[in-house]
Amino acid sequence: MEQPLVRKVRVKNELGLHTRPATLIVKLLQDSKSEVLFSYKKETINAKSILSILILAAPKNAHITIQVKGVDALATMERLIESFENGFGERESVSE
């Protein structure tokens, strides 16, 4: 049995994993042939499900553990991390 790739990432964008980033993640994973899981606190969920990502309710600065298993695991992981790193194209902090 192959080992899943495991990485930890931080949620950088201000609003956390809300609808828009969740949609982006699911779109990004649409063509991926790997199984992708997110863990936050005690929950582990299927990252290809918008609803499941929403249920995680991960706020800004939450640490998410990503597990990817499958033929294109490496590429999938890279794209995911890039997405997290740039805060899903949203601003990191909002000054009022």
Residues 18-37, interacting with other proteins (CB under 8 A): 18-19, 23
> In one letter, which amino acid is 4?
P
- On whether the CB atoms of residues 73 and 64 are closer than 8 A, the answer is no
Query: Which range of residues in 6-14, 50-58, 67-75, 83-91 is near other proteins by CB under 8 A?
Result: 50-58
Q: Which is nearer to other proteins, 29 or 82 (CB)?
A: 29
62 near other proteins (CB under 8 A):
no
- On whether the CB atoms of residues 50 and 19 are closer than 8 A, the answer is yes
CB of residue 93 to other proteins, shortest distance in Å: 17
R_g over Cα of the chain: 13
Q: How many CB atoms lie within 10 A of CB 4?
A: 16
Both structure tokens of 89 = 């194209």
- Binding residues (CB under 8 A) for other proteins: these are 15-16, 18-19, 23, 46, 48-52, 54-55, 57
